[in-house]
Each structure stands twice: as C-alpha cells, then as structure tokens.
C-alpha cells in the first residue's frame, strides 16, 4: 500500500506538468481550433532560454518570470507572422500543419544551436536537500504521512498548477479581457461586431499558451534536474493524451485528463511489468480510444458540422 501511494505521488507530480502543457494546448484550440504540435518545442526553447539565464547567474524565480514574459512575446510573434497567414476557414489544413511541423523541427534545432545541445542542469525553485543517494535533491521531503514521504517537488508542482489554473480561471471568468477572449473564441464574427478585436485575442491566446509552456518546461526540467533536447517531446505526447481525454476545448478536462493519464502512467510503470520501457503505449491507447469512442472527450462540447 505504501508503494501504491509512492506511485500515486509520482503520478500527481508529473500530472501537474502535463496539465500545464495540456492547458496551453486547450487555450490555443479554443481560440483557433488548432492542435498546436509545436507547443512542446516552444516550451523547450523557453526552457533552454531560462537555463541560459540561470547559467549567467540569475536566480531561478526571476528567471522564470523573464522566461514567461519573453515566451509570451515569442508566442504572439509566431501567431502573427507564421500561423495567421496560413490559417483560416477557407485555407487547407495541410498548410498550417506543415508550418507547425516546421516550427517543431526548427525550434528544437534552434534551441540546440543557440543554447546547448546537451543536458544542462536546471536549478529548482523549491527547497532541496542533497543526500548521498540523491545528489540533485529531487526527493527532499516536505512531510511524511503514514510512512510515505511527500517530496517538495510534488508539492511545488501541484501548487504551481493550482495557482496558474486559478489565475487563468480568474482571467477568463472575472475580467473584461477574459470575457473578450471567450467571445472571440466562441464567435469571432459577432465578437467583432460588438467591437472586440478578435485577431488580437487570437494573438493573446498564443501568448498565454507560450507563457504556460515556459512554466511547464522549467518545472519539468527542474523536477528531473536537467533540461535536454528530448524533454518536451514526451511531455507533449502525454499532454495531448490528457487534452484528448478531457476534451480539447475544456480547461477543467485538461487538468483532470492530465491527472488520469499521469497516474495511469505511474501505475503502469509500477505494476505492469509487461509494458516496462513501452509505457508510452498507455497515452496512445488512451488517445486512440477517446478519439474513437468519444471524440469530444470527458468534458468537451459536441461540435455540429455544417456542410
């Protein structure tokens, strides 16, 4: 039973990272109807940027703040210059897909060319205690409940998720800007009629997604102790599974889906020895199952297609 709780906590920690990336995917999907394949590599680029800042001697907390702001500008720039010209109801979806794949390849390669193509250490924005068996202090404990140590990293990851999801909720439900964002997402033409600049809202959606991705990337790297060029590709797969499970247009679905996916992953690693090293089967099985059985996901709305 103790082991079970250990796996569960591992799952929750990873789930927080997946949830942040899944939220970013949902933000972009809601405003543009796109599945952003480049989300992971955008986050990777931000993460290497953050590593460079810490490498230059900046503390981790201001680094995250700078990386988030810079990423938001980057995301807005990408939307405006690369995505908008090729995306629209009358344009072929193949083109925008190819542009996103180009971003996927290009941003990963660019991060390696500009910053580093090696694994680089990422300091942790939470207390660490290095011990002989755990040189990066990943498992520094926050508390111990019934013999199960709860590590600082799980607490910090979960806390970040709660704070960010809460802020997003406040932004969307309690501010005028959020109302405008929702209006532009649900009906761009009508929103324009009442004086909302829909295209700016799209850009803001991408900016928010890029900022979330930056936080997710830095936290994922900090949790694992280092950032490497393959870090976000796997995270993206789990985030896609999470978003598919929750419904691509539902933020709550993204969080719930991420937790389900991450806990399923942790349990698979823990208990299903037949799937060792191929635990990636789990998210893909989930994606396929959801798309086939209930394409709207657990919390998604059904879209009626007019011919």
For 125, phi and psi rounded to 5 degrees?
Answer: -85, 25
Q: Does 303 bind another protein (CB under 8 A)?
A: no
Site for another protein in 29-68 (CB under 8 A): 34-35, 37
* CA dihedral sign, ordered 245, 248, 252, 258: positive
CB atoms within 10 A of CB 1: 8
Find the binder of another protein among 101, 162, 163, 303 (CB under 8 A): 101
* Site map (CB under 8 A) of another protein, residues 145-184, x = contact: ----------------------------------------
Q: And the tokens for 145?
A: 């409940």
Q: Segment near another protein (CB under 8 A), from 66-74, 111-119, 159-167, 201-209?
A: 111-119
Q: How many chain residues are in contact with another protein, going by CB under 8 A?
A: 42
Report in angstroms how near the CB of residue 53 gets to another protein at its nearest. 21
For 191, phi and psi rounded to 5 degrees?
Answer: -60, -40
Q: Segment near another protein (CB under 8 A), from 13-21, 79-87, 194-202, 204-212?
A: 79-87
The nearer residue to another protein, 104 or 206, going by C-beta atoms, is 104
The nearer residue to another protein, 18 or 240, going by C-beta atoms, is 240
Closest CA to 278 of 261, 265, 292: 265
Site for another protein in 116-135 (CB under 8 A): 117
The nearer residue to another protein, 105 or 177, going by C-beta atoms, is 105
For 81, phi and psi rounded to 5 degrees?
Answer: -90, -35
Q: Does 304 bind another protein (CB under 8 A)?
A: no
Strand partners, 273: none
Give the DSSP H/E element, type plus range, for residue 96: helix 93-114
Find the binder of another protein among 3, 59, 69, 105 (CB under 8 A): 105
Find the binder of another protein among 55, 65, 106, 224 (CB under 8 A): 106
Q: Does 259 bind another protein (CB under 8 A)?
A: no
Contact 150, 143 (CB under 8 A): yes
Q: Segment near another protein (CB under 8 A), from 45-53, 160-168, 172-180, 229-237?
A: 229-237
Quick one: DSSP state of residue 132? T
Non-local (6+) Cβ contacts of 18 within 8 A are 235, 238, 239, 242, 258, 261, 262
Residue 305: CA count within 13 A, CB half-sphere: 2
Q: Does 233 bind another protein (CB under 8 A)?
A: yes
Q: And the tokens for 109?
A: 């390669």
CB atoms within 10 A of CB 108: 22
Residues that bind another protein (CB under 8 A): 34-35, 37, 82, 85-86, 93-95, 97-99, 101-110, 112-113, 117, 230, 233, 237, 240, 244, 277-278, 280-281, 283-284, 287-288, 291-292, 295, 307
């Amino acid at each position: 039973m103790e082991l079970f709780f250990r796996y569960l906590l591992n799952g929750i920690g990873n789930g927080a990272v997946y949830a942040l990336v899944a939220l970013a995917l949902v933000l972009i999907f809601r405003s543009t109807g796109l599945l952003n394949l480049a989300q992971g590599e955008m986050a990777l680029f931000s993460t290497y940027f953050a590593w460079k800042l810490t490498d230059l001697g900046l503390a981790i907390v201001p680094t995250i703040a700078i990386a988030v702001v810079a990423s938001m500008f980057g995301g807005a720039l990408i939307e405006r210059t690369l995505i908008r010209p090729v995306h629209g109801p009358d344009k072929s979806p193949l083109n925008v897909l190819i542009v996103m794949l180009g971003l996927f390849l290009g941003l990963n390669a660019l991060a390696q060319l500009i910053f580093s193509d090696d694994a680089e250490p990422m300091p942790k924005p939470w207390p660490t205690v290095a011990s002989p068996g755990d040189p990066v202090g990943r498992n520094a404990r926050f508390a111990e409940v019934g013999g199960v140590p709860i590590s600082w990293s799980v607490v910090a990851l979960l806390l970040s998720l709660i704070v960010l999801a809460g802020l997003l909720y406040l932004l969307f439900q309690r501010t005028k800007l959020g109302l405008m964002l929702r209006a532009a997402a649900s009906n761009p033409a009508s929103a324009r009629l009442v004086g909302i600049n829909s295209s700016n809202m799209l850009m803001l959606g991408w900016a928010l997604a890029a900022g979330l991705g930056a936080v997710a990337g830095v936290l994922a790297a900090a949790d694992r102790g280092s950032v490497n060029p393959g870090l976000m590709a796997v995270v993206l797969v789990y985030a896609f599974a999470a978003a598919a499970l929750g419904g691509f247009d539902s933020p709550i679905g993204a969080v719930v889906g991420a937790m389900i996916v991450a806990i399923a992953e942790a349990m698979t690693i823990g208990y299903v020895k037949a799937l060792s090293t191929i635990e990636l089967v789990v998210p893909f099985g989930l994606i396929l199952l959801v798309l086939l059985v209930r394409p709207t996901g657990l919390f998604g709305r059904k879209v009626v297609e007019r011919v």
